[in-house]
Structure 1
């Protein structure tokens, strides 16, 4: 389960996921652009200029020898290409890594909690555990979701009153943005 059942929570989750994808796409585009800019800024190979005091025949021979030497050089990534890759990886990895470190654990935690709550809500004992989890929440949170006072809720939980257990379990499910299975 990736999204809540309740519309408000689901909308916030979808907006958050969309913003995360947009953030990743933005930094991927920035990294590709930076890679291309670094490669475009590399120095041009030396132009063949005439050598003074030597005849045109000697100049051509020297240039031909230089061209053969350049062709014989090992083909590997040039320092500019390595720099371009390094810049692109850094521009992508740092902001996306921060996003994954902050947003992803919270999103995965909600997913695990929601799946566990759905499983618990389907069983009688699980309903009691959900009710207990709701009962240990701060009183102001509990008061927002139920009309009964905390004393009545605690007493109903101890006596295993089905109506109170259902109300408390519903509080916990609503906190997660879920509804009864």
Structure 2
């Protein structure tokens, strides 16, 4: 059971659930935007990698051509290939930079989503689950006389100010917290009904 039967309580629950859903969607969108923005930083790194690869490839090709020059071709080829190695290092640096930016974008966006959403869920979800368990248990108890007696006891065990308020709002003007407790101990059907219905109403459930 996830929603109360009382219209007012159910409306508040729906509003709360909707607010949590909107909060989650909002931070999902923020995290996605942040991920895209950080990924833009990988553009220069990719340009460096591309330039390095082209530089290395061009010098390697030039070295192959220069190797055909008589007498000095081998030395020219070796020299150009050494310089081409610098291009490879530049390309590797660009590749590593792009990988680092991607990792930063992923980790940052996940953290940006989990922190605010996790905080709200940690406050909201336990309360909703607790109410759901209590409501399902109360519905089962309300189906039997012994169960209603337990519901009445739960109502009596509420804070004293709540029990006093219940006594003031009872049909009989002379009802007091003490008389409610006495009626419960004596198994008075009317008192048990008053207390059991009060517990059901507290949870937002129908009393009949």
Which structure is higher in RCO with an 8 Å CA cutoff and minimum separation 6? 1
**Pair 1:142–1:59, CA change in 2 (3 A):** closer
Give 2:149's match in structure 1, choosing from 123, 128, 136.
128
1:114 matched to 2:141? The reply is no
**Pair 1:48–1:161, CA change in 2 (3 A):** closer
After TM superposition, list the pairs within 5 Å mapping 1:20-31 onto structure 2: 20-31=20-31
Instruction: Give me the whole-angstrom Cα distance separating, in 1, the residues matched to 2:51 and 2:156.
Output: 84
Structure 1-normalised TM-score? 0.82
Structure 2-normalised TM-score? 0.72
Report the Cα offset of residue 26 of structure 1.
Answer: 0.6
Q: Which residue of 1 aligns with 2:184?
A: 157
Report the Cα offset of residue 100 of structure 1.
Answer: 1.6
More helix, by proportion: 2
1:37 matched to 2:34? The reply is no
Conservation of the 8 A alpha-carbon contact between 2:35 and 2:108:
yes
Structure 1: 5+ residue stretches without partners: 50-57
Pairwise CA RMSD:
2.8
Report the Cα offset of residue 96 of structure 1.
Answer: 1.2
Instruction: Give me the whole-angstrom Cα distance separating, in 1, the residues matched to 2:112 and 2:159.
Output: 43
Instruction: Give me the whole-angstrom Cα distance separating, in 2, the residues matched to 1:130 and 1:154.
Output: 13
After TM superposition, list the pairs within 5 Å mapping 1:166-177 onto structure 2: 166-177=193-204
Question: For residues 115-135 of structure 1, what are the alpha-carbon distances to aligned partners after superposition, in whole Å with 9 as ceiling and x for unaligned?
Answer: 111111111111000001111
**Pair 1:174–1:40, CA change in 2 (3 A):** same
